[in-house]
Amino acid sequence: MKKRCNAAQAMAEKDYVRARLLAEQAQINAQRAEAMASSVKAKKAAYALQKDSRVLRQKIDRHTQ
């Protein structure tokens, strides 16, 4: 967020090279944050699936004993 604000400020100051660099860095940071969020969601989904599978196996084990 800060880099985006700094990019806007650099634009206002007509420092276009700096503005472009900061805007690109802000975009990279946003993409990384998005990837990390997706990774966290995927990990949570995988954990939930593992838990559900474990519970199902336990129920099956109880019925087969």
Mind listing the pLDDT tens digit for each residue in 45-64?
988 989 999 998 999 889 88
Q: Binning pLDDT at 50, 70 and 90, where does residue 13 land?
A: very high
| Ramachandran category for residue 15: left, alpha or beta (phi over 0 → left; psi -120 to 50 → alpha) | beta
**34: which 2 tokens?**
């998005």
Residue 4 has pLDDT above 90, yes or no: no
Q: Map tokens 């196996």 to a residue.
A: 57
Q: What is the pTM of this model?
A: 0.64
- Amino acid occupying residue 53: S
Q: Binning pLDDT at 50, 70 and 90, where does residue 24 land?
A: very high
**Radius of gyration of the chain measured on its C-alpha atoms:** 23
Domain count for the chain, please give it: 1
Could you tell me the residue range of the domain that residue 42 belongs to?
2-64
Cα separation, 51 vs 56, in Å, equals 9
The helix-helix angle for 2-12 and 16-64 (nearest 10°) equals 160
